Amino acid sequence: MKRIRTYQAGLLSLSLLLSGMFSSCTNDDPPKPYGVLPSADQLEWQKMEYYMFIHFGPNTFTDVEWGNGKEDPKVFNPTDVDCRQWAATAKAAGMKGIILTAKHHDGFCLWPSEYSTHTVRESLWKDGKGDLLKELSEACKEYGLKFGVYLSPWDQNHPAYGTPEYNQIFANTLTEVLSNYGPIFEQWFDGANGEHEGGKKQVYDWKMFHDIVYKNQPHAIIFSDVGPGCRWMGNERGVAGETNWSRLNIEGFGPGKAAPPTDTLNIGNVHGAAWVPAETDVSIRPGWFFSPSTNDKVKSIDQLMDIYYTSVGRNSNLLLNVPPDRRGRIHANDSTRLMEFHKEIESIFSNDLSKGATVKASKTRANSSKYAASNLLDDNYDSYWTTDDDVLTASLEIDLGQAKSFNRLVLQEYIPLGQRVAKFNVEYLNGDKWEEVAQATTIGYKRILRFPTITTQKLRINIQSSLACPILNKVGLFAAPEKLSSPVVMRNKEGVVSIACATPEPVIYYTTDGSEPTTSSKVYKGEFKLSEGGTVKALATIDKGKNQSEVVSVVYDIAPVLWSVVSPVADNLSFIVDGNPNSYVAVKDNTPVVIDLGSKLNLKGFSYDPLKSETANNVYKYNLYTSLDGKTWTKVQSNAAFNNIKNNPIKQNVLFDKAVEAKFLKFEPLQTTASSKDYIVAELGVITK
């Protein structure tokens, strides 16, 4: 009897235990994935965050952004290629890999391809025995970096381009690259094509190309405007959308053909059907290829930090281009800047002020410690805080234990279960009042918010809208040094230079002879004349020089003091010659512009400032004429192109084959970057120095 009762009691407690286990199991289950998810390879790729792009090829020597494929392969003759230096630089800069332009739009192959006669084999480099892909892939292995390749489907050299045979040739090229130099972490397919009307049209066999990638490199991420591995984020300025979903609708689009509009690429689609995260590609110099003329235009630390925040800080990977010079080495100006940039990132993000804090969540899934808010502070990627399925808003309160000062907040969503958060804000306890310090939309893999320094013990993150229960795995707080704004140098039509600075009451030092300004240089007391041109370098300081800005450097040619637009006659055309690249005009009906330079000048070249917008109708192809009397014209540039101006609308400097005497300039647009009949000119200038 006793035995039976015991047995029954045992059964009862077993069933209680089981039911308890069962119900807590239900509540304790991780949330179901939301929407489409990253693959394991996409997740690994996203965790790389920052890697190097290398543009190298004939353009490095011919000083153009897009070669036309007709250049003599012998122009490619670097004197001192050192891929180990590239890899060592990338590694020391904190990058996780390198992607090389194995073949750009000129068709030149940086390896001795069997399927082309426009390769390193035909060049003078190493007597035609060199192989850049081999050297760089080996250097990457040695330095523990991942290796990726860029291949342009658009090929201006290959005779078969524009015919169905080209697809097989491109496929063979791909196989060569992907089977000989692996492992390849990313295959970059450039969508650019400058053929326009009347040009060659290639109908690409993307299915075949993708099959080849996956057959040879099953883990490779395929980049294009629409992925499928990762997507172009719509501009070459380094600015991903403030809202940035990793989902995208790709149905009906294709790489190299009708891609979604650039503003969609920039922000993704909230309910997109495919996981295609953003990659931000941007160059450390104004152009993608090295040019001696840009040695002093390497982006400043402030500019690079801005790019870091608008890429990595906005749910995007950063692919930073560092073009080797004509020796085949990364120029000291670029490598020095990369080290400074890395140091800055490290100095900010190596000291997480939330260490040792406590975090309380207003809601926690099943009230289970498994999903506790404390998971946000550990370094385990796979431990996270989340809420019950039906809870879409919640607050996280961080108590730092004592007042601390900071101005950066890092948040990460646990994307293996999908991207969910659509809106949140951040408040801090100021005395006894909660005050908002920032608000934002998406988080994604990583979001970094910048705000003015606050000092507080308590911070609150309010998730205000989420597509499913929010899942966050990281919170971090950091203090970036408050930087002094760099001076802004302007010169007007009369050649008068003014220097301003956003920081109140700075002391500005400057030079005009190209030397570096220091606190012993001339103090800026007011405007000065520089109508004949020169280099202005300026430095802002406060606290008796203890706190200094970065140096800015601006090179000026002759000022447009005497210039005027003689035709067409229309309002505001004087903006073209007012010395101010921020004022612009839309010239009606694609009419040529004629400028009277006021005196005879010896022109080495000319410059065109477009409107700095990817959607503006800037000039792509043009003719340029010069004249001494405004009647008889000499064509100095015929059907010339500002290559890549659509995606990278920066100032274009064009050098003539030989200098020419002129008093008049005629600029005639032939093709523009958008469909409008009015083209944009911000400034036309001359190069005489």
Instruction: State the residue for tokens 């304790």.
Output: 28
Q: Which residue is nearest to ligand FUL (CB)?
A: 192
Among 135, 186, 190, 668, binds ligand FUL (CB under 6 A): 190
Q: List the x/- string, 145-184, binding to ligand FUL by CB under 6 A.
A: ----------------------------------------
CB of 190 to ligand FUL, least distance (A): 5
Residue closer to ligand FUL by CB (options 578, 614) is 614
| Number of amino acids touching ligand FUL (CB under 6 A) | 8
Closest listed residue to residue 477, CA positions, set 462, 493, 456, 495: 456
CB of 102 to ligand FUL, least distance (A): 12
Helix crossing, 165-180 with 206-216: angle to 10°?
20
- CA 75/CA 79 separation, integer angstroms: 12
CB of 103 to ligand FUL, least distance (A): 11
Q: Tell me if 65 contacts ligand FUL by CB under 6 A.
A: yes
Q: Angle 582-586-590 (CA atoms, 0-180°, nearest 5)?
A: 140
DSSP codes of every residue in 470-513: -EEEEEEEE-PPPPPPPPEEEE-TT-EEEEE-SSSS-EEEEESB
Residues 6 or more apart whose CB falls under 8 angstroms from that of 504 comprise none
Residue closer to ligand FUL by CB (options 281, 344) is 281
Q: Tell me if 344 contacts ligand FUL by CB under 6 A.
A: no
Q: Tell me if 647 contacts ligand FUL by CB under 6 A.
A: yes
Element (H, E) at 86: helix 83-92
CB of 105 to ligand FUL, least distance (A): 6
Q: List the x/- string, 282-301, binding to ligand FUL by CB under 6 A.
A: ------x-------------
Burial label, 409 (beta-carbon count in 10 A; 0-12, 13-18, 19+):
buried
CB of 587 to ligand FUL, least distance (A): 26
User: From the DSSP assignment, how many helices (H) and strands (E) are in the chain?
Assistant: 10, 33
DSSP codes of every residue in 153-201: S--SS-TTTTSTHHHHHHHHHHHHHHHHS--EEEEEE-------TTS--
C-alpha distances in angstroms, 267 versus 39, 241, 260, 575, 686? 20, 5, 11, 34, 39
- CA 497/CA 537 separation, integer angstroms: 12
Cis ω for the linkage preceding 228 (within 30 of 0): yes
Q: Tell me if 71 contacts ligand FUL by CB under 6 A.
A: no
Residue closer to ligand FUL by CB (options 234, 328) is 234
Residue 256, classed as helix, strand or coil, is coil
Residue 369, classed as helix, strand or coil, is helix
Residue closer to ligand FUL by CB (options 132, 577) is 132
CB of 55 to ligand FUL, least distance (A): 6
CA 586 to the chain's CA centroid: 28
CB of 65 to ligand FUL, least distance (A): 6
Q: Tell me if 186 contacts ligand FUL by CB under 6 A.
A: no
Residue 400, classed as helix, strand or coil, is strand
Residue closer to ligand FUL by CB (options 334, 344) is 334
- Contacts with ligand FUL in 262-281 (CB under 6 A)? 281
Residue closer to ligand FUL by CB (options 65, 155) is 65
Q: Tell me if 609 contacts ligand FUL by CB under 6 A.
A: no
Instruction: State the residue for tokens 């295959």.
Output: 187
Residues 6 or more apart whose CB falls under 8 angstroms from that of 348 comprise 408, 478, 479, 480, 481
Residue closer to ligand FUL by CB (options 457, 647) is 647
- CA 277/CA 267 separation, integer angstroms: 10
Residue closer to ligand FUL by CB (options 104, 247) is 104
Q: Tell me if 192 contacts ligand FUL by CB under 6 A.
A: yes
Residue closer to ligand FUL by CB (options 155, 427) is 155
Q: Tell me if 644 contacts ligand FUL by CB under 6 A.
A: yes
CB of 417 to ligand FUL, least distance (A): 33
Residue closer to ligand FUL by CB (options 54, 587) is 54
- The residue type at 230: C
Q: Tell me if 37 contacts ligand FUL by CB under 6 A.
A: no
Judged by the rule CB under 6 A, the positions of this chain that interact with ligand FUL are 65-66, 190, 192, 281, 288, 644, 647
